[in-house]
Structures are given as C-alpha cells and as structure tokens.
Amino acid sequence: MVADSVDLLCIKAREALAQRNPEKARQLYLHALGLKADAPDVHYGLATVCFQLKDLHSASHHFREVTRLDPMRAGAFINLGAVYNLLDQLDDAVAMLRRGIQLDPRRGEGYYNLALVYRRKGALDMAIHAYREALRVNPQMADAHYNLANVYLEKGQLGMAATHYKQALQMRPNWDKAQAGLAEIEARLNPPPAAADPAAETVQAVGPATAPVDMERVIDPNVKGDELLIVHKATIESEEFGRGFLQVLENEIEPAIKELSSALLYSDTSASELDQCVEKFEGALARMRSAQKTVVLSIERVQTLGEKLFK
C-alpha cells in the first residue's frame, strides 16, 4: 500500500514538473520520501527538482543518496559530478564523473561535464580529450563542438577552433556565440593595419628601402645541392619522429593514466590489478622517454647539418 502511495506521489510530482511547477513537485517528492526514505528513484526525482530550483546543496545530497542506494546508476554519478562542478568542488566532480563514465562509457554527457571541470582546473589538454570523447559518443553534440572550439582558441590553435565553431553552426545556424568565435579568429588572422606614424614615415624615407641581405647566409643550390637534400631528408625524418612521439602520448600514455587513475580511485581494485596498471604505465612511460630522446637527437642532427651549410 505504501509503495502504491509513493508511486502515485511520484507521478503527481512529474506532472507538476510538466506543468512547470517545480516547488509543488518538490513537496510531493518530500512527501513520498517521508513514506519511503530509502527509495533511490524518489531521491533522484527530488535531486532533479532541487537542481531546477538552484538548490545545489540539496541536489548534491539527494544525488549522493542515489549513489549510496543504487551504486550502479551511472546517471546519478554524472549528475552529482555536474552539481559538484557548480559548487566549485572540482576534485570531487572529477571523481564522480569518472565513476559515472566507468559505469556507462556510452554517455556523452559524462565526458562533456568532465571536460567542463578540466577546463576550470586549467587542464586544457585533458579538457580537449574529454570533449573529443563526448563527440565520439555523440557527434551531434553542438555544445561540445562549441566548447571544444573555445579551448582550442584559448590554446591559440586557430584552425582547430574554426573547424569546431563551423561544426557547431552546422547544427545550430546563426548561433551568435559560435559566430563571435569565428569573428575573433578572423580578427587574429587579419588584424587591422596600424595607424600611420608620420615620424616613422620620415625616418623610413631617408633609410634603405629594404634590409641588406647577408650573403654569407644565402645557399646556392647549384653548389650545395647535395647538402641541402641531406638537411631536407633529416627534417622530414625529425617530423616523423615527432609524430611517433605524439602517437605514444595519445595511444599509450593517456590510456595508461586513465586506467591507473581508475584503479587508484576505487577501493575495490585488487592488488594484482593495481600492479598490472602500474606495470602498463611504466612501460608506456619508458616508450615515451625513448621516443622523446629520438626526437631530441633528430632535431640536434638537423641543427648540426644546417650549421655546416654556412661554414
């Protein structure tokens, strides 16, 4: 009989929400909670209502209750992480969002909210990775494209920023924020000419029209064609080593860090599982250092060959 009453109150609460009366919905959920204090669905509904009412502390309390009563509900962890972000509890937000993603890796909003937290923490590369994961799960997430573009803009990677602003606009035509982002990129790429300085013009008029050419730094390809070819090949090789280094970071280091972080985060990880994660991370770290050393040596070789050209 109590269950029937709780179910009926929850139905009425959802109806109140549909009628845009969240305060009435909260009272109905509280009544239901008084009848059955350990009902995760009631806590979830009440948390959602409190969030709409901007009562974030109450929302976090009830989402925590859901995670306690139903520890496999990914959505509760993801929503709790989003609330923690708004409460400036950033480390707790990361922990909750990672747990939600671990429970359900197919939820794009988990990665999206994790990216928001990483950006607030100043971890821009991790924010980019999380936004990309959100878009991998849901390529039509316009907000993820827009926010990813903002991070690229902050890093000065204007081409990538423009790409994602445009993708956001394809999904939301005339989106003023995305259009403003593209306008800022255009302004950076094509700054307006500086106002003319009459004094500077006078000085330039009496000076040389162009800077003198240092003939000792000019290479005649007819004389040193073979040496130029060697430098060119060494430069290409160095670039390839650089790509290899980035691949190690993306394909080995990042996954190893994620697995090790998850293993350290959850108390149910066995000692053998933790040892495996540590071993995998150390192996990836060794390969990263080896790739890094190769890149450094290849760059030094290019510099040495370049200097020889001018001797």
Residue 205 domain flag: no
Which residue, 142, 169, 189, sits at the end of a domain? 189
Residue 284 phi, psi (nearest 5): -65, -40
Q: Which residues are within 8 A (CB) of 114 and not within 5 positions of it... i.e. 6 or more apart? A: 81, 94, 97, 98, 101, 130
Contact 80, 57 (CB under 8 A): no
Instruction: Tell me, yes or no, whether 50 and 180 share the same domain.
Output: yes
Give the chain's domain count: 2
Residue 274 domain flag: yes
Residue 290 domain flag: yes
Instruction: Tell me, yes or no, whether 240 and 292 share the same domain.
Output: yes
Residue 197 domain flag: no
Instruction: Tell me, yes or no, whether 137 and 237 share the same domain.
Output: no
Q: Which domain holds residue 60?
A: 2-189
Residue 259 domain flag: yes
Mean pLDDT for 37-53 is: 95
| Sign of the Cα pseudo-torsion (266, 272, 274, 277, in order) | negative
Tens of pLDDT, residue by residue over 226-238, are: 676 676 677 777 7
Instruction: Tell me, yes or no, whether 6 and 128 share the same domain.
Output: yes
Residue 101 domain flag: yes
CATH number at residue 167: 1.25.40.10
Q: Label residue 41 exposed, middle or buried (CB < 10 Å: 0-12, 13-18, 19+).
A: middle
Q: Which residue has the higher pLDDT, 300 or 30?
A: 30
Evaluate if residue 207 carries a pLDDT over 70. Answer: no
Q: Which pLDDT does position 213 carry in this prediction?
A: 44
Residue 195 domain flag: no
Of 106-120, 254-268, 295-309, the range with the lowest mean pLDDT is 254-268
Q: Which residues are within 8 A (CB) of 41 and not within 5 positions of it... i.e. 6 or more apart? A: 10
CB atoms within 10 A of CB 10: 21
Tokens linked to 62: 């009830």
Evaluate if residue 100 carries a pLDDT over 50. Answer: yes
Mean pLDDT for 188-217 is: 56
Instruction: Tell me, yes or no, whether 47 and 145 share the same domain.
Output: yes
> DSSP 3-state assignment of 219?
coil
Residue 209 domain flag: no
Q: Which residues are within 8 A (CB) of 160 and not within 5 positions of it... i.e. 6 or more apart? A: 149, 152
Tens of pLDDT, residue by residue over 261-300, are: 666 655 566 777 777 878 888 888 888 888 888 878 888 8
Q: What is the maximal distance between C-alpha atoms in the chain?
A: 99
